[in-house]
């Protein structure tokens, strides 16, 4: 091997080492982000759990459920080709004390895009404490009156997702799991749909004697 060839080989080796070093440094933030696990509430993973997998989870737990369009809330037939695309399941669990219902939302790719867990309002403080211990705090505002804007909430993050505990009213509390990119689309989803139930006026005959 000539002296010139030797120096060329050494130079090439140095170039390869430097190039690989730059590549590793450049991708290290991505590797770190990927290594942070997503939240997996009740076995669901945002943007990963497929429609079929979600159905298997629901059916394995023997939850009663129906499927609806996201826009018009129209119920979808079990044989409709639209199933799992821009729809949501409303599931009623019978095995989870204090959980009233689940809303499992699907996007264009037929994967879980968001999950809402409606819970007994009495569990607000307990759930707040549990989520504080599991996820990174982002922001919170726990003051507010019934139907006030903004309603009381607390937000955490995990991986690329937000987890938010919301007190929509004194008797409607829920936990939202959603990708940060579509968080704004779901933060208030369904909250106004139940507005007519929030302030239901109840009267008794004896009130006329007050």
pLDDT given for residue 108 in this prediction: 93
Using one digit for the tens of pLDDT, what is the confidence trace for 196-210?
Answer: 334 444 555 643 544
- Which regions in the chain score pLDDT beneath 70? 1-36, 144-149, 192-210
Domain boundaries defined on the chain: 1-29, 42-196
Using one digit for the tens of pLDDT, what is the confidence trace for 135-180?
Answer: 999 999 987 644 445 789 999 999 999 999 999 888 889 999 999 9
Count of C-beta atoms within a 10 Å radius of residue 123: 15
Question: Where does residue 140 rank: exposed (0-12), middle (13-18), buried (19+ CB within 10 A)?
Answer: middle
The set of residues, in sequence order, having a beta carbon less than 8 Å from that of 5 and lying 6+ positions away, is none
């Amino acid at each position: 091997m000539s002296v010139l060839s030797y120096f060329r080989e050494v130079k090439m080796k140095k170039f390869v080492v430097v190039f690989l070093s730059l590549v590793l440094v450049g991708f290290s933030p991505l590797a770190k982000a990927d290594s942070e696990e997503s939240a997996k509430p009740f076995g669901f993973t945002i943007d990963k759990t497929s429609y079929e997998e979600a159905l298997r989870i629901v059916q394995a737990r023997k939850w009663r459920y129906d499927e609806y369009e996201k826009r018009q809330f129209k119920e979808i037939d079990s044989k409709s080709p639209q199933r799992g695309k821009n729809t949501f399941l409303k599931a009623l669990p019978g095995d989870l004390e204090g959980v009233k219902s689940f809303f499992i939302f699907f996007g264009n790719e037929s994967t879980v895009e968001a999950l809402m867990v409606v819970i007994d309002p009495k569990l607000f403080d307990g759930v707040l404490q549990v989520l504080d211990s599991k996820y990174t705090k982002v922001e919170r505002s726990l003051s507010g009156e019934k139907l006030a804007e903004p309603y009381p909430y607390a937000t955490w993050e995990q991986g690329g997702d937000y987890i938010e505990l919301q007190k929509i009213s004194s008797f409607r509390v829920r936990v939202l799991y959603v990708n940060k990119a579509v968080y704004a689309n779901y933060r208030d989803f369904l909250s106004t749909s139940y507005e007519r139930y929030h302030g239901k006026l109840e009267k008794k005959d004896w009130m006329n004697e007050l």
